[in-house]
Amino acid sequence: MRSTPELDARAGLDKLATYPFAVLTWVDDAGYPLSVAIEPTFESDRPAASFTAPAGLPVPTDREISLSGSHIRPQPGYGYDERRHVTVWGRASVVGERVTMTGGRAWGWDEAEVPFFEYSERSTGQSRKYFDALSRERGTPVKPRLSLGFLALRTTRLPFLTATIVPVVLGIAIAASHGSFDLATALLTVVGASLAQLAINVSNDVFDTAQGADDVNVTPTQFSGGSRVIQYGLVTFRQMATLGMALYLAAAVVGLALLAMRGSIELLVIGVVGFVVGLGYTAPPLKFVYRGLGEIAVAIGFGPLMLLGAYVVQTQGALRWEPFVASMPVALLVALILYVNEIPDRRADARAGKRTLPVRFSPATVVTGYRVAAATAYVVVALGVIAGILPMPTLLILLSIPLALRVSRGLLPNYDNPYGLMAVMGVNIKLHVVAGVTLIMAYAIVMLAAVLTPGVDLFLG
Amino acid sequence: MATVPESVARLLEVALVGDLTVVDATGRPITYPLIPLWDGEKVYLTSSTLFSRKLEHIKGDPRVSLSITDPVATGGRLDRATIQGDARIIDADPHGGWERLLPIWEKKEPSIVLFLKARVALPLFFERALIELTPRRVLYWSDGNAASVPAVTVVGEEAA
């Protein structure tokens, strides 16, 4: 994979012409490079540049020479930005004091064309090659490293646990408002569900790597493109697969313990369906996300399954419509996290045969889809309140609408700019958390009201 | 002990960027803009393993040059210099070995410390090697003009 776009001599010289001067370089007779700043003029009819011969330094005509330009903009207190450079190689001919270089090939990088993070990502293979060579030199494996804490954070994508915490705590809160609450099983539910999500995160990276999707992604962000610990050589494929299995096993142990403690057949069904949906998200033969079903799988997994699972642990199997309806906005908003995060990945996903919704649809359709889904999340809550299924305080979720609008407005302008989209993705994650917290707060209000003002009904109808 | 003329040492101290040129296996010069780090005796540069072709070239042929030519990167100074020398790659500990030069690097690029604190975001960028350049010959243009013959200083063997 190239780390910089291909550049021919003509294009290289055109770029070089934008620099105030060039650095002429050749390898001298002692074998050392020798450089001198010159001010070339550029020929329009052929890829050539000419300049006055530098005083006292004869330019060789029997070997390749180069002309380079580099640019930075100093930023006091920070460093610099606007980095770019270009080099054109060619042969020199000398007539009197005038030297002409006919360009042969060129190379360069401009961070305005290839952002630094993409340039770095495209260069991952070079890093691997260097470490491989170091390992051969020393006769022992030399690998890039991260501290254990950072490695755990990156490998499991721990910050994304909000996707689990929100529905699980909401499910527990709804159950508590119905008079069912057990602290030990509540805590165990949070731990088990978190382990399940970490297992899913890790196994997704394993299957995405096995199917080539993460390898061809050169524009990952902190929210998309996987953990990349395998691609960076920080963790081996085998270690990652082992970790995924260990996390699944730990989640299963907690699930079985909850099953033993609460004896709910509903919990067993939810756990089995959750396992299939979680693993099948990227794993063959289901591969939901590769078929454009990723959003639905995530919505089901991190919406009703998590919320109802937490609810039935507390109620020992009793189910009601209320937690199901309350899980709908959570499901929609968590699916929208994936949906937006797939936008910067869409080219790599398409190359890997991952037919996500942003791969299938135009930017305008994708943005419309976002608006419809986000609006539906609020409409469901409003209808739930009107129908007397959800308590009135759940309308607090409407406070998160400004965040949804920020995401909605930020999508199209940043659609082709993964790094500009990062801020939008951040707000989108915040939207899910804020909306979830407002619903949890709503049930805290319901419970408080039941204690303070027992006669007041917070349900319509 | 200084191994380059005082005026060149001052250029090295202020330059935010210099052009390191290495020689590839075919004898072709390849130029990379890098931050020169001057410790008063030797010039150091540092390269991420992500962009490590230059390191491979140096391991194949240690003869390199470093040019300081851009007035924008030297606070408006018009003088220019090219240092030819022998480079040595220091990569015994790519994870942290280069950090001994962090104080000099930070003076030129203060934001690097913030980035280092968040190395989890870009771990391979901070797997790095040092390039230690021992100067052999220095060309200096006091007016920065290639129409002038440069002052040439050959650095003594004792400096190595």
Looking at residue A103, which CATH number applies to its domain? 2.30.110.10
Are A90 and A137 within 8 A, CB to CB? no
**Is the domain of A162 the same as that of A293?**
yes
Q: What is the DSSP letter of A63?
A: S
> Does residue A424 lie in a domain region?
yes
Q: Do B73 and A74 touch (CB under 8 A)?
A: yes
Two tokens, residue A331? 């499901």
Q: Helix, strand, or coil here: B8? A: helix
Q: Do A35 and B21 touch (CB under 8 A)?
A: yes
pTM above the 0.90 mark? no
Q: Give φ, ψ of A384 to 5 degrees.
A: -60, -40
- Residue among A405, A404, A410, A411 at smallest CA distance from A361: A411
Q: What pLDDT shows up at residue B160?
A: 37
Least CB-CB distance to B110: which of A63, A73, A77? Answer: A77
**Is the domain of A108 the same as that of A122?**
no
> Does residue A3 lie in a domain region?
no
**Is the domain of A136 the same as that of A180?**
no
> Does residue A459 lie in a domain region?
no
Tally C-beta pairs within 8 A across A and B: 180
**Domains, chain B:** 6-46+54-91+130-159 (2.30.110.10)
Least CB-CB distance to A78: which of B22, B67, B110? Answer: B110
- Which residue of chain A has the CA closest to B146? A54
Q: What pLDDT shows up at residue A47?
A: 96
> Does residue A391 lie in a domain region?
yes
Q: What pLDDT shows up at residue A166?
A: 98
Q: What pLDDT shows up at residue A223?
A: 79
> Does residue A261 lie in a domain region?
yes
* Residue A139 domain boundaries: 115-144
Q: Can you list the alpha helix ranges (DSSP code H) found in A290-417? A: 294-300, 306-315, 321-351, 357-360, 363-386, 401-411
Q: Do B124 and A23 touch (CB under 8 A)?
A: no
Interface of B with A in 69-98 (CB under 8 A): 69-70, 72-73, 75, 80, 82, 84-85, 91, 94-95
- Residue among A213, A332, A345 at smallest CA distance from A282: A213
- In this predicted model, what pLDDT tens digit does every residue of B102-113 receive, in sequence order? 999 999 999 999
Chain B CB contacts of A56 below 8 Å: 149-150
- Number of structural domains in chain A: 3
**Residues A77-93: b if buried by 16+ CB within 10 A, e if exposed:** eebbeebbbbbbbbebe
Are A337 and A435 within 8 A, CB to CB? no
Q: What is the DSSP letter of B92?
A: S
Question: Can you say how many angstroms the Cα of residue A237 is from the centroid of all Cα atoms in its chain?
Answer: 20
**Is the domain of A103 the same as that of A124?**
no
> Does residue A461 lie in a domain region?
no
Chain B CB contacts of A71 below 8 Å: 70, 72
Q: Do B127 and A127 touch (CB under 8 A)?
A: yes
Q: What is the ipTM of this complex?
A: 0.95
Which of B82, B112, B139, B145 to probe by mutation at the A interface, max A CB count within 10 Å? B82
Chain B CB contacts of A65 below 8 Å: 29
**Is the domain of A343 the same as that of A421?**
yes
Q: Do B52 and A127 touch (CB under 8 A)?
A: yes
Cβ neighbour number for residue A126 with a 10 Å cutoff: 20
Q: Do B50 and A123 touch (CB under 8 A)?
A: yes
Q: What pLDDT shows up at residue A347?
A: 86
- In this predicted model, what pLDDT tens digit does every residue of A286-308 receive, in sequence order? 999 899 899 999 999 999 999 99
Q: Is A375 or B115 the better-scoring residue by pLDDT?
A: A375
Q: Do A33 and B65 touch (CB under 8 A)?
A: yes
**Is the domain of A218 the same as that of A133?**
no
Residue reference for tokens 């919320």? A307
User: Which pLDDT tens digits describe chain A residue by residue (461 residues)?
Assistant: 777 878 999 999 999 999 999 999 999 999 999 999 999 999 999 999 999 999 999 999 999 999 999 999 999 888 999 999 999 999 999 999 999 999 999 999 999 898 898 899 999 999 999 999 999 999 999 999 999 999 999 999 999 999 999 999 999 999 999 999 999 999 999 999 999 999 999 999 999 999 988 888 888 877 788 899 999 999 999 999 999 999 999 999 999 999 999 988 999 999 999 999 999 999 999 999 899 899 999 999 999 999 999 999 999 999 999 999 999 999 999 999 999 999 988 988 888 888 999 999 999 999 999 999 999 999 999 999 999 999 999 999 999 999 999 999 999 999 988 878 889 999 999 999 999 999 999 999 999 999 999 888 999 97
> Does residue A460 lie in a domain region?
no
Q: What pLDDT shows up at residue A271?
A: 94
**Residues A152-179: b if buried by 16+ CB within 10 A, e if exposed:** eebbbbeebbbbbbbbbbbbbbbbbbbe
Q: How confident is the model at residue B159 (pLDDT cuts 50, 70, 90)?
A: very low
**Is the domain of A87 the same as that of A134?**
no
Residues 6 or more apart in contact with residue A301 via CB below 8 angstroms: A200, A274, A277, A278, A281
**Is the domain of A237 the same as that of A338?**
yes
Q: Do A234 and B123 touch (CB under 8 A)?
A: yes
Distance to chain A for B1, nearest Cα, Å: 24
Q: Do B51 and A123 touch (CB under 8 A)?
A: yes
- Residue among A95, A24, A48 at smallest CA distance from B150: A24
Q: For residue B18, is pLDDT > 50?
A: yes
**Is the domain of A185 the same as that of A73?**
no
Q: Do A127 and B49 touch (CB under 8 A)?
A: yes
**Is the domain of A171 the same as that of A87?**
no
CA distances from A326 to A142, A300, A385 (A): 51, 13, 10
The greatest distance separating any two alpha carbons of chain B, rounded to the nearest whole angstrom, comes to 49
> Does residue A259 lie in a domain region?
yes
Q: Give φ, ψ of A72 to 5 degrees.
A: -140, 160
| Whole-number Å distance between alpha carbons of B11 and B70 | 10
Q: What pLDDT shows up at residue B158?
A: 42
A246, HSE (Cβ side, Cα atoms, 13 Å) = 7
Residues 6 or more apart in contact with residue A169 via CB below 8 angstroms: A190, A310, A436, A440
**Is the domain of A241 the same as that of A188?**
yes
Residues 6 or more apart in contact with residue A154 via CB below 8 angstroms: A146, A227, A228, A229, A234, B120, B123
**Is the domain of A107 the same as that of A120?**
no
| Whole-number Å distance between alpha carbons of A35 and B147 | 14
